[in-house]
Structure 1
Amino acid sequence: MSSHLVSAQFLGLLALFLAILFIAGPFLGRYMRRAMEEGNYKLTAWGRPLERLVYRIGGVRADAEMGWKQYAIALIVFNLIGVIAVYALQRLQGVLPLNPQGFGAVSPDSSFNTAISFVANTNWQGYAGESTMSYLTQMLALTVQNFVSAATGIAVVFALIRGFARHTAHTIGNFWTDMTRSTLYILLPLSVVMAVVLVGQGVIQNFDAYKDVSMVTEVEYTQPKVDAAGQPVLDKEGKPVMEAAKTGTQQLAMGPVASQEAIKMLGTNGGGFFNANSAHPYENPTPFANLIEMLAIFLIPAALCFTFGEMVRDRRQGVAVIASMTVIFVVMALAAMASEAQITAALSQLPIDHVASALQAGGNMEGKEVRFGISASALFATITTAASCGAVNAMHDSFTAIGGLVPMLLMQLGEVVFGGVGSGLYGMLVYAVLAVFIAGLMIGRTPEYLGKKIETYEMKMTAVAILVTPLLVLLGTAIAVMADPGRAGVFNPGTHGFSEILYALSSAANNNGSAFAGLSANTPFYNTLLAAAMWFGRFWIIVPVLAMAGSLAAKKRTPVTAGTMPTHGPLFVVLLVGSVLLVGALTYVPALALGPVAEQLQPLQAASTEPSATPAAPAAQLEQTQQQPAALTAATR
């Protein structure tokens, strides 16, 4: 990598990523429209018998459409049942099959948090997957929810698009039909193909018991000393006595990883079979696998923009939406790379060479996999937080202050920069309604979008959908900062500790699921607080979106006149991007100033107040950083 802040390697990777995405997007978008809307589409004929069987078992009439209230009730009831099922499987896994390691029941608060998390498409994990969940729980609870939570998002966005595309209609589709078709014809085929590709790259897929393997060299470590009865030996102060030990073996986790990894990425679910997530070589073994996983995260959200253009019979509308998303994404990706390509303040004062070379990255490599480097790690972090996925291939807690601000801000913008499967597009369409309303105020006309007048009811639903997540994030952060159990989970006190809490609430309420892993969040306090943020952050947006869809579908289409503002050109793209950034700036800038911004300014303040500081201070700081536990990945995807 070159010594420039934005390397040629990063620009090449970014260009390759976007080129593949925009080539595949229109084809997949057109396929999804036909698969979801046409009952006689040739490419889905293979699944028609299975689709009819599902309807027969469920007692569903595929041709019976629903109003928005009926659609919303069906959606919420279905997801509540999912919460109960996932909770029960975790609590009972000790007596269920496919549990070769004999894992016992997951604790009640962790089970509750995980159930809400996977149903809400957040996939926040306060536990280490390979040491907590049985194979059956991983497959039947978590992987199944990876499919149906993603299908829920697709169903909602199709309902909203129908609201724009239809006129004088009282229905927005059938929830059960939308769920079945999105799972059967979109998510399942793509997941099978991707799983096969990942297996070819070295991702494991088996049901073997965990394996003990011999290490090349023995490893020395310390452990609590125990007496003959197996009880820990305590010193005079009541603390465990530590003793030296060594081992020449290591236990390697096995399991059906590739199948879960595929839908984890394609469904923008995140989560991970392993605690190290997509940094683990069994989940993400090669640079090519890393590229495939990044593409999978954006594939369906990007293609849905083209589906939107197809369904409203104006492809330029879909292009305008995806152009707005891309502008914000590229700027954020460049900012993350520029920050991570810099040397941290502590390292810059050490008497070592920081020039980039074949053996020296020349930037902030802390918390990053050597096989991916700074470029692929910074891009992955931007993609996973832009797309509401939250899978990670690097430790976001180890990013620089501005490098960590980028993924945090992308989540706080409402996960609309591509966003989650379905949820990203319906979130951006809500912002599009806000943008035309602002434009209408500026020119003194009744705002219109796609031939539908935007009136009081639509703006009320828009306000609820946009403001609910900032309320949850800021209120939840305030509660955590003031409460003793909230502060107790912070590993790094000060500005970075505040960033850890703010990031966690931003991730939960916006259904992302990644974390600054320095926060110990697997506690009853955080499991309950974050579960509430995840549930309301998901469904307090879905319900007003469906209400808006019902209202728009019932409206007549307004003919285009000379005074109608075009919503498919560069001016609208600027207006839409401005609306997204404006809301983010107004709601989160004060909180960001207390966290990553203040953290970024601290080295400058230290340099100005202590000009005679010796190199011993940063060296000691570096030593302290290196001694932090490497396994601080609780609550990390």
Structure 2
Amino acid sequence: MAFLALGVTLLLVLLLARPTGLYIAHAFKDEQTKLDRFFGPIERGIFKIGGIRRDNQSWKKYVFALLMCNALMIALVYIIFRTQAYLPLNPTNVPNMEPTLAFNTAISFMTTTNLQHYSGESGLSYLSQMIAIVFMMFVAPASGLAACIAFIRGLGGKPFGNFFVDMVRAITRLLLPLAIVMAIVFIALGVPQTLEPNAIAHTISGGEQSIARGPIGSFLSIKQLGNNGGGFLGVNSAHPFENPDAISNLLQILLMLLIPTAMPFVYGKMVGNAKQGRVLFVAMSMLFIVMLGTTLAAESTGNPVLNSLGIQHDQGSMEGKEVRFGMMQSALYSVVTTASETGAVNTMHDTLTPVAGLVAIANMMLNTVFGGAGAGLMNVLMYAIIGVFLSGLMVGRTPEFLGKKIEGKEMMLIALTMLMTPFLVLAPSAWALFSYSGTISNSGFHGLTQVMYEYTSAAANNGSGFEGLGDNTPFWNITTGIVMYIGRFFSFVTLLAVAGSLSAKKAVPETAGTFRTDTALFGVVFLAAVLIVGALTFFPGLVLGPIAEQLTLKP
């Protein structure tokens, strides 16, 4: 039965990917479409109120608009967090956030990371949850989608469009309608949606228990759809109020993968080469299946120490997992949430076996096993360009991508993008291990993994964590905040600069020597680029962390 449920889930993901991709491509078309009949009046009203002109921007103006808009929104929600005690809709009297925690949280949710150095139900008021958090859960993925659409347009030699127009369309035509529908579905399944304060239950022993609740249904739908993650409640989607049963668990998995799996088809449609989009989708799917299979094998075998004591569950490792989901659905969720850069959890990742933890952190390091909404495909195309470049060097020919020559300028920008992630992970990890070891709950190899996971999650804008860190301190709040911000926006700038450089070049006619990017061979080259260039970058750190931990486990 567990394998049947797994197969049905993956089949539904496969069936939804292409139609969703074609819809997204249609929603961002520059010319008039049938969607304008319904969404046009709403969008024109927003453009008029915001003073938005529907003109095409250069890549530099597009990036500037993206950065300034996001910076302004970070500042606004920071103010809300710092003053929430004085604002309405605070029935549980949550105090103002401490400055460094407010700094971290504002950046976290504006970068779709949703790393939480506070417990969900006790750190924010209802107003902060709805006006600040849910607001950012819409505009943050919309910004990522807009950047990706502009990147695709630039690679295809088309005008970059207008950031504000693209961001509004991402919200009105995709995120908001789906989020409303799914919020209603989740509420029907038993997820609370209320502004009432915590419920007080009287126990049979005469005591009282405060049960957290709130507007969770509306939070949950956009949390998963926008690859945001985070949790209204402290234990995230392991809590029955955020994930009541197997049906809600299935829907959350589908929502997390809906946009990321659709993006290769968006790309294929927009550049006029649907076959190339399918090749990228198949290659990414193969990576996903390998990661999933590895995790299932590791969790099925379980912990050899527990096995030797005779207390291992007969269905695999159940440590840190909810019984209502079981090992298989918990393992699947851990792969999906890190592959899609969502960060929601229905099991505690700190209790995963070392190999399963390795898969989770590797998904984030690569950020190409579908990846997050928009940003994931940008990383995929970066590796695709690297693959084409390396192939061109091997045959002594100037490499071409979508009919444009890839030269030194583009590769320098891509190299900077490639090097930024390991720098953001390894440098602060070394600093934390050397200077703040007292905040790390585990010693040895697991402690190293714990720290490296935190910064990898921040740099990849995932937000899940190996819990146990004493992370609500100025050091962790400030360093992870900086890592999240750079990890999010640095690649937007450099990769849009690559697209800008390529779009300014004249198209080169295809010849017999042109390396085609819509073949199975290109898919193999792409996978090789990901595994050789990407995976080997982090291999030493992984050897000292989860791999060493696995090798030292003894029954």
Match of 1:449 among 401, 404, 427: 401
Equivalent residue letter for 1:52: R
**Aligned residue number for residue 85 of structure 1:** 76
Q: Output the amino acid matched with 2:354.
A: A
Aligned to 2:532: 582
Alignment pair present for 1:53 and 2:12: no
Richer in helix (by share): 2
- Work out whether 1:294 is the aligned partner of 2:253: yes
The residue number in structure 2 matching 1:629 is: none
Would you say 1:489 and 2:439 are equivalent positions?
A: yes
Structure 1, 467-476 or 248-257: larger mean CA deviation: 248-257
Is the 1:172–1:549 contact (alpha carbons within 8 Å) kept by the matching residues of 2? Answer: no
Q: Which amino acid aligns with 2:29?
A: E
Q: What's the C-alpha RMSD, in Å, of the aligned pairs? A: 1.4
Return the alpha-carbon distance in structure 2 between the equivalents of residues 116 and 472 of structure 1.
16
Aligned residues: 555
CA distance in 2, matches of 1:294, 1:572: 29
SS in 2 for 1:349: helix
Counterpart AA for 1:9: A
- Output the CA distance in 2 between the equivalents of 1:131 and 1:391: 18
Q: Which amino acid aligns with 2:241?
A: Y
Give the structure 1 partner of residue 478 of structure 2: 528
Indicate the residue corresponding to 1:9 in structure 2: 2
Q: 1:110 to 1:104 in 2, by over 3 A?
A: same
The answer to whether the Cα contact below 8 Å between 1:361 and 1:373 also exists between their aligned partners in 2 is no
- The aligned counterpart of 2:20 is 28
Which of residues 152, 157, 168 is equivalent to 1:180?
A: 168
CA shift for structure 1 position 33: 1.3
Q: 2: distance between equivalents of 1:419 and 1:379?
A: 16
Q: Match of 1:347, SS?
A: helix
Structure 1 length-normalised TM: 0.85
Residue identity opposite 1:525 in structure 2: F
Q: Greater CA deviation, 398-407 or 585-594?
A: 585-594
Alpha-carbon distance in 2 for matches of 1:569, 1:18: 24
Deviation at 1:82, TM superposition (A): 1.2
1:100 and 2:95 correspond: no
**What displacement does 1:38 show?**
4.3
Give the CA deviation at 1:288: 0.9
CA distance in structure 2 between the aligned counterparts of 1:121 and 1:37, rounded to whole angstroms: 25
Residues 306 and 315 in structure 1, CA contact (< 8 A), matched pair in contact too: yes
Structure 2 partner of 1:480: 432
Q: How many Å apart are 1:344 and its aligned residue?
A: 1.3
Structure 1 unmatched ranges of 5 or more: 1-7, 219-246, 355-359, 608-637
Deviation at 1:584, TM superposition (A): 3.0
* AA in 2 matched with 1:557: A
How far apart are the structure 1 equivalents of 2:404 and 2:36?
Answer: 32
Give the conservation status (yes or no) of the 8 Å contact 2:117–2:472: yes
Supply the AA of the counterpart residue of 2:472. N
Say whether residues 1:165 and 2:156 are aligned partners: yes
Partner of 2:225: 266
**1:13–1:458 Cα change, 3 Å:** farther
Local SS of the residue matching 1:250: strand
Amino acid at match of 1:548: V
Structure 1 residue 44, shift from structure 2 partner: 4.2
Residue 210 of structure 2 aligns to a residue whose secondary structure is strand
Q: Please tell me whether the aligned partners of residues 113 and 528 of structure 1 are also in contact (alpha carbons under 8 angstroms).
A: yes
Determine helix, strand or coil for the equivalent of 1:37.
coil
Distance in 1 separating the partners of 2:209 and 2:339: 36
Is the CA contact (8 Å cut-off) linking 1:335 and 1:406 kept in structure 2? yes
Aligned pairs for 1:584-603 within 5 A: 584-603=534-553
Deviates more, 1:249-258 or 1:577-586: 577-586
How far apart are residue 297 of structure 1 and its match? 0.5
The CA distance in 1 between the partners of 2:5 and 2:29, in whole Å, is: 36
Quote the residue 2:342 is aligned against: 389
Q: Residues 6 and 329 of structure 2 are in contact (CA less than 8 Å); yes or no, is this contact kept in structure 1?
A: no
* TM-score for the superposition, normalised by structure 2: 0.98
Q: Judge conservation of contact 1:277–1:391 (CA < 8 Å) in 2.
A: yes
* Offset at residue 56 of structure 1 (A): 1.0
Residue matched to 2:265: 306
Aligned partner of 2:493: which letter? V
Determine the C-alpha separation between the residues in 1 that align with 2:308 and 2:550.
Answer: 16
Percent of pairs with identical residues: 45
Which runs of 5 or more residues in structure 2 are unaligned? none
> Within the alignment, does 1:191 sit opposite 2:150 as a pair?
no
Tell me the equivalent position of 2:391. 439
CA gap of 1:38–1:71, structure 2 versus 1, over 3 A, is closer
In the TM superposition, what are the counterparts of 1:166-565 in structure 2 within 5 Å?
A: 166=157, 171-215=159-203, 217-218=204-205, 248-351=207-310, 360-413=313-366, 415-483=367-435, 486-565=436-515
Structure 2: which amino acid aligns with 1:50? I
1:310 Cα offset (Å): 0.6
1:156-196 Cα deviation digits (max 9, x unpaired): 111111012226xxx41100111110111011111111111
Once the two structures are superposed, the pairs formed by residues 64-75 of structure 1 within 5 Å of their partners are 64-75=55-66
1:39 to partner: Cα distance? 4.9
- 1:351, CA displacement in angstroms? 4.6
The reply on whether 1:115 has 2:65 as its aligned counterpart is: no
Give yes or no for contact 2:365–2:460 (8 Å, CA) kept in 1: yes
Q: Distance in 2 between matches of 1:418 and 1:555?
A: 29
SS in structure 1 at match of 2:301: coil
